[in-house]
A and B are shown apart, each in its own frame.
Chain A
Amino acid sequence: MAFSPRATLARMLLMRRFEEMVITLARVHKLGRQHLAIGNEALGAAALMQLADGDLIYTTHRNHGHMIARGVDSGKALAEILGRAGGLCGGKGGTWHMTDPALGFQSTSAMVGGSIGLSVGGGFALKHRKTGGVAVALFGDGALDEGIAYEALNIASLYALPVLFLCENNSKEGEAQTSRLATKELTAVPRALKIVCASVDGGNPKAVDRAVGAALAHVRGGNGPYFLEAQLVRWPGSHQIVHEFTTGVTDVTAAWDKAKASNEHAEWQRNDPILRFAHDMIACGALTREDVVALDADANAMIAKARTFAEASPFPKPEAALAGVFV
Chain B
Amino acid sequence: MPIKSFAVAMIDALAHSLRSDPNVVLIGAHSFLSDRGLRPEDERALWDAFPDRLIDPPTSEGVCTSLVTGAAMAGMRPFLNYGTATFAFEAFNQIMSEAANVSLMSGGQLRAPMTLHMFAGIRGGGAGQHSSSPQAMYANSAGLELVLPASPADAQGLLRSAIKSDNPTVVITHTRLLSMTGEVPDGDFSTPFGQARIAREGRDVTIVATSLMVREALKAAEALAQDGVEAEVIDPRTIIPLDTAAICTSVRKTGRLVTVDEGNALCSIGSEIAALVAEQAFDALKAPIVRVARPPVPIAFSPPLEAYVTPNADKVVAAVRKTMQA
A: residues with CB less than 8 A from B are: 56, 58, 87-93, 96-97, 99-101, 106-107, 109, 111, 114, 116-126, 128-129, 135, 147-148, 151-152, 154-155, 158, 323-327
Contacts and interface: CB of A to CB of B under 8 A. Distances in A.
15 contacts: A100-B109, A107-B110, A117-B65, A118-B70, A118-B73, A120-B70, A121-B74, A123-B70, A124-B70, A124-B71, A125-B74, A129-B23, A148-B63, A151-B58, A327-B103
Contacts of A101: 106, 109-110
Nearest to B145: A326
Nearest to A128: B76
B234 interface: no
Contacts of B110: 99, 101, 106-107
B70 A119 contact: yes
A120 B107 contact: no
Given A90-B108, A107-B110, A154-B58, A327 B70 contact: no
Contacts of A325: 103-104, 142-143
Nearest to A321: B104
Interface stretch (B90-98, B210-218, B222-230, B265-273): B90-98
A117 B63 contact: yes
Give 9 closest A-B pairs by Cβ, nearest first: A121-B70, A117-B66, A89-B107, A125-B74, A151-B63, A90-B107, A151-B60, A118-B70, A327-B166
Given A125-B74, A324-B104, A117 B109 contact: no
A312 to B, nearest CB: 19
Contacts of A119: 70
B18 to A, nearest CB: 13
Contacts of B107: 87-93, 324
Contacts of B106: 89, 92-93, 97, 99, 101, 107
B164 to A, nearest CB: 12
B192 interface: no
Nearest to A89: B107
Interface string B65-100: 111111111111000000000000000011001100
Contacts of B111: 327
Contact of B70 (A87, A96, A122, A326): A122
B42 to A, nearest CB: 25
B279 interface: no
B102 interface: yes
A117 B104 contact: no
B113 to A, nearest CB: 8
A89 B109 contact: yes
A106 B98 contact: no
B67 A124 contact: yes
A155 B98 CA distance: 18
B62 interface: yes
B68 A121 contact: yes
A121 B69 contact: yes
A13 B237 CA distance: 56
